[in-house]
């Protein structure tokens, strides 16, 4: 559904009126198109004392062919980067203002005390206005369990509040994230940066993502143009909406697809499957025989490399008015079916090593929502599912994560009454709803080897929604 206010606010007259009235001024977000480089312009690199990721950053930026600049907090970057064949220079020499950049990346992994954060304050203070619209800001830190003393744990946790506040202030389609990199997870940095710095993460902001080093990880050579080439992935609920967008993006990234939907959606499913040269499966995932049927199909196809549990329904009522069948239907489709299917696939050995499962949760499962008790229960349950199963998946060299969309422009949200819909759309740092492609890009990243080191986590695709913040 189109967002008429977004178009109006970006017209000549609309921008004047919205500015005078102090109304939200959503920026049209830049989205990824095939063969586009990760970044068009420069990355301004800064760091606090004892940065732990400079080598990994040099390797990542070299592989991305990104151009970098050194902030005053990291003057040694110029020499390090140039020695690695990365063209680099100083930013804002003397009193000269710094040039505009596409991204800010600050290595805060060495911060051990609150006073160590001063270079970060200066860096953000100096540079935030120099980030171009739809630019990116990534702070790199450590997680509490990687901290050697309480002082370090304090300042590393403090980064979260800083990052979330900068994300609310940045506006102009700029996203801000905190990436916590565990010791030994440095090789995973490139895949995460490629997602977070590129337009693929257009509607992901204010997020904390942790990279760990998966046990027995041997490294994976990723074809960055086709990161899913050679992988077979099941997408449930693929005939329309977010599921269709996921199938499109996974197909674009090289996956061989199995697209599933209910019998009532067969015509639309056939269209999607034909377009993507995918295998169409007509099946109700709540049917008793569904898990065994899917496990048998996966085995027949030589095993699957991923499953996207996207199929979901709403049957909204307040808890007082909720009839038992409405509760049961929602819980059965959204939560029990994914759990049973995972179980069957794992038991049958039908998921290949390296397989990645992604569950579609929701902001409602994090923040709760009046009238959605059954839905919020099921979507919060999915978060429990990914967290509680992550170790078992890791022990098989696999990963399971969730994506929690906020307000996404779909048939479902178009049906919401106007006033509530407008409120839902604007209650986030981007002042607009997300597109189905934004969810699909996040799912595609989590389904690919580019997200190695991410397991048992929930990635919100919500434009930093105020709900559940
Ligand atoms: N649209 C949003 O703003 C939003 C926000 C948060 C989360 N989500 C979640 O994203 C997912 C996709 O949402 P959407 O807006 O595209 O929904 P949608 O209703 O457009 O599509 C859901 C698909 O799932 C299929 N499906 C439903 N029950 C099924 C069953 N028993 N077996 C097999 N397939 C079944 C439907 O036929 C449909 O094709 C859902 O899990 C939803 O809860 C959506």
Per-residue pLDDT of 86-138, as tens digits, reads 877 888 877 777 899 999 999 999 999 999 999 999 999 999 999 999 999 99
**Ligand 1 mutation pick, 204, 240, 241, 467, max ligand atoms within 8 A of CB:** 241
Q: Select the more confidently predicted residue: 23 or 123.
A: 123
Q: Whose CA is nearest to atom 11 of ligand 1?
A: 310
123 catalytic residue (yes or no):
no
Indicate if the pLDDT at residue 18 is higher than 90: no
What's the CA-to-centroid distance between 175 and ligand 1, angstroms? 26
Q: Would you say the CB of residue 267 lies under 6 angstroms from ligand 1?
A: no
pTM score, whole prediction: 0.96
Domains of the chain by start residue, with CATH: 31-211 (3.40.50.720), 232-461 (3.40.50.720)
Vertex 458: Cα angle to 455 and 461 (nearest 5): 130
Q: Select the more confidently predicted residue: 142 or 147.
A: 142
Task: Please report, rounded to a whole number, the percentage of residues in the chain having pLDDT higher than 70.
Answer: 99
Lowest-confidence pick of 14-23, 209-218, 234-243 = 14-23
Q: 429 with 464: CB under 8 angstroms?
A: yes
Nearest to 186 by CA among 52, 281, 5, 303: 52
Q: Would you say the CB of residue 444 lies under 6 angstroms from ligand 1?
A: no
Coil vs helix vs strand at 439: helix
Taking CA atoms, 197 is separated from 61, 66, 177, 257, in Å, by 11, 11, 10, 27
Q: 78 with 90: CB under 8 angstroms?
A: yes
**Ligand 1 mutation pick, 1, 203, 242, 367, max ligand atoms within 8 A of CB:** 242
280-324 residue pLDDT tens? 999 999 999 999 999 999 999 999 999 999 999 999 999 999 999
- In the structure, what pLDDT confidence band is assigned to residue 40 with cuts at 50, 70 and 90? confident
Task: Please report, rounded to a whole number, the percentage of residues in the chain having pLDDT higher than 90.
Answer: 80
Rounded CA separation 20/125 (Å): 26
The phi-psi region of residue 400 (left if phi > 0; otherwise alpha if psi is between -120 and 50; otherwise beta) is: beta
372-408 residue pLDDT tens? 999 999 999 999 999 999 999 999 999 999 999 999 9
């Amino acid at each position: 559904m189109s967002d008429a206010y977004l178009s109006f606010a970006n017209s000549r007259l609309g921008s004047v009126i919205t500015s005078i009235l102090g109304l939200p001024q959503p920026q049209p977000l830049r989205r990824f198109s095939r063969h586009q480089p990760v970044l068009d312009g420069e990355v301004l690199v800064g760091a606090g004392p004892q940065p732990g990721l400079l080598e990994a950053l040099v390797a990542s930026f070299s592989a991305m062919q990104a151009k970098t600049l050194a902030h005053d907090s990291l003057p040694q970057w110029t020499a390090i980067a140039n020695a690695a064949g990365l063209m680099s220079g100083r930013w804002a020499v003397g009193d000269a203002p710094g040039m505009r950049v596409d991204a800010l990346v600050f290595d805060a992994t060495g911060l051990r005390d609150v006073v160590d954060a001063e270079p970060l304050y200066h860096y953000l203070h100096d540079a935030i206005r120099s980030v171009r619209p739809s630019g990116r800001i990534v702070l790199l830190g450590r997680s509490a369990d990687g901290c050697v003393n309480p002082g370090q744990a304090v300042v590393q946790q403090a980064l979260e509040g800083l990052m979330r506040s900068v994300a609310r202030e940045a506006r102009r389609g700029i996203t801000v994230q905190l990436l916590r990199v565990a010791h030994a997870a440095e090789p995973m940095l490139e895949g995460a940066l490629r997602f977070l710095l590129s337009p693929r993460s257009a509607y992901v902001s204010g997020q904390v993502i942790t990279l760990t080093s998966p046990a027995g990880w041997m490294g994976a050579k990723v074809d960055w143009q086709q990161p899913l080439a050679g992988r077979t992935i099941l997408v449930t609920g693929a005939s329309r909406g977010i599921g269709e967008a996921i199938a499109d993006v996974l197909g674009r990234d090289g996956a061989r697809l199995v697209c599933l939907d209910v019998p009532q959606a067969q015509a639309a499913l056939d269209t999607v499957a034909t377009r993507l040269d995918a295998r169409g499966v007509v099946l109700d995932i709540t049917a008793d025989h569904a898990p065994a049927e899917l496990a048998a199909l996966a085995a027949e196809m030589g095993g699957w490399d991923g499953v996207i549990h996207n199929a979901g329904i709403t049957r909204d009522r307040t808890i007082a008015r909720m009839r038992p069948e409405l509760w049961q239907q929602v819980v059965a489709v959204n939560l029990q079916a994914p759990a049973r299917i995972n179980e069957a696939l794992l038991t049958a050995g039908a998921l290949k090593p390296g397989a990645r499962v992604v569950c579609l949760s929701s902001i409602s499962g994090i923040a709760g929502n009046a009238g959605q008790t059954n839905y919020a229960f099921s979507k919060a349950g999915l978060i429990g599912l990914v967290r509680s199963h992550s170790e078992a998946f890791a022990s098989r060299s696999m990963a399971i994560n969730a994506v929690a969309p906020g307000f996404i422009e779909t048939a479902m949200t178009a049906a919401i009454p106007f006033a509530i819909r407008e409120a839902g759309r604007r209650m986030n740092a981007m002042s607009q709803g997300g597109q189905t492609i934004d969810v699909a890009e996040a799912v595609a990243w989590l389904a690919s080897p580019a997200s190695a080191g991410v397991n048992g986590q929930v990635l919100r695709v919500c434009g930093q929604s105020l709900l559940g913040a």
